[in-house]
Structure 1
């Protein structure tokens, strides 16, 4: 249609609590800007916008009304499925704040699928996805959040975390699909050399990687410094992190 505007694209992250400082959001924005062509809006859902760069649209996290004192299992991410997410419309690519972008993000907005997520690394025979990177149409899946709010005790008894519940819920609706395996590798499983070569070989960027996922033992500054949070699991410094994880 002549004169029609392109569909609106959003990149969304979340920051709550004190685990991650504003520098994680600022560096994530910079990486996305370097690797995503064309226009997009970068949104951070947060309880504290202080220190976040002006190019980022900071919005409050929609309330989930979770019981006080429960273990943090990522449930807060389900707020992205609000029926009205601050009036935003269009396609959203959600990224965890501690990922490292190493390649083009353009195809994440064109990959076929109604809801696309990383397939679980450790148990690929399950439907469970890793919610460090997922894409969806804003407002298209309000039932994910509505059911969660109405059945929280049942969901907690069946699912360990939000990504297990989310994957199961959308799989039952035949809406779940996965990114190509090479796009979103795990630093823990795919970058660190196998023992004992991890003592003399540095972690590498896996072939075809576009977004390297940091989960479990290391965050980007730990990887850069050659630190792991478990005894006897040595790594050499991943110097390539510094080439990407910066403003």
Structure 2
């Protein structure tokens, strides 16, 4: 899914290329977007379904648009869908993401000491049956103000909703590690050791202050958070 100007078409094109290299067999690759310009022809582009979400001046976009993937009739698409954020790097086979048992699967949001018991998932990678959970979107549309007041962002709401339905489940922790939590050497070794791909990783998730091109250039966009260039990215993040 791509909207706005933060991510250009090259992110979609690279994601498609990485998926093609790491999936066996045929698959369809879909991008919901407000601008298909520059996206490669192998990608099916559809408009993002309307959400009628009005952000107040200065209000941060909390990715609520992702909930439109749960539209009951999503352009006639059918089957299992694996949603993947644009700002990730695929480093291993994706086949198991379609084989792992469960009705709705998501990354278990990365545990920090103050939130180890949270049920919240990280929606950088989640799997669902297209059209099977329209109530997620319907409830949000009918209760936008209340939902936004209660939940910080779309993944917090989505996780809570699926938990109440009894369908929330998580990927094995090693499949989708966080670059900033699991792929950067501990201080002070980060000054002489390069970032790395943890063992068992399939998708490296870039969230927060650092995207793949930043990491590749050794930029972390936070003061006092030094990293060396993550040169391993050149092996995987290409079209």
- Number of the residue aligned with 1:111: 100
1:90 pairs, out of 75, 79, 87, with 79
Residue 79 in 1 paired to residue 71 in 2?
no
Instruction: For 2:12 and 2:48, locate their aligned partners in 1 and report how far apart those are by CA, in whole Å.
Output: 15
Return the TM-score normalized by structure 1.
0.94
The answer for unaligned runs of 5 or more in structure 1 is 1-13
Instruction: For 1:242 and 1:63, locate their aligned partners in 2 and report how far apart those are by CA, in whole Å.
Output: 36
- Number of the residue aligned with 2:4: 17
Shift of 1:124: 3.5
Q: Give the alignment of 1:1-247 within 5 angstroms.
A: 14-69=1-56, 70-122=59-111, 123-247=115-239
Instruction: For 1:71 and 1:236, locate their aligned partners in 2 and report how far apart those are by CA, in whole Å.
Output: 30
Shift of 1:144: 0.1
Instruction: For 1:68 and 1:197, locate their aligned partners in 2 and report how far apart those are by CA, in whole Å.
Output: 42
Instruction: For 1:72 and 1:197, locate their aligned partners in 2 and report how far apart those are by CA, in whole Å.
Output: 35
Instruction: For 1:42 and 1:162, locate their aligned partners in 2 and report how far apart those are by CA, in whole Å.
Output: 23
Instruction: For 1:218 and 1:159, locate their aligned partners in 2 and report how far apart those are by CA, in whole Å.
Output: 24
Which segments of structure 1 move beyond 6 Å, counting only runs of 4 or more?
A: none
The answer for unaligned runs of 5 or more in structure 2 is none
- Number of the residue aligned with 1:5: none
Are the aligned partners of 2:68 and 2:137 in contact in 1 as well (CA < 8 Å)?
Answer: yes
Instruction: For 1:163 and 1:146, locate their aligned partners in 2 and report how far apart those are by CA, in whole Å.
Output: 16
Instruction: For 1:127 and 1:113, locate their aligned partners in 2 and report how far apart those are by CA, in whole Å.
Output: 16
Q: Between Structure 1 and Structure 2, how many residues are aligned?
A: 234
Instruction: For 2:67 and 2:24, locate their aligned partners in 1 and report how far apart those are by CA, in whole Å.
Output: 28
**For the aligned residues, what is the CA RMSD?**
0.7
Write the deviation string for residues 83-139 of structure 1: whole angstroms up to 9, x where unpaired: 110110111000000110000000000100000000010334111000000000000
Instruction: For 2:128 and 2:224, locate their aligned partners in 1 and report how far apart those are by CA, in whole Å.
Output: 40
SS in 1 for 2:11: helix
SS in 2 for 1:65: coil
Are the aligned partners of 2:55 and 2:61 in contact in 1 as well (CA < 8 Å)?
Answer: no
Shift of 1:68: 3.4
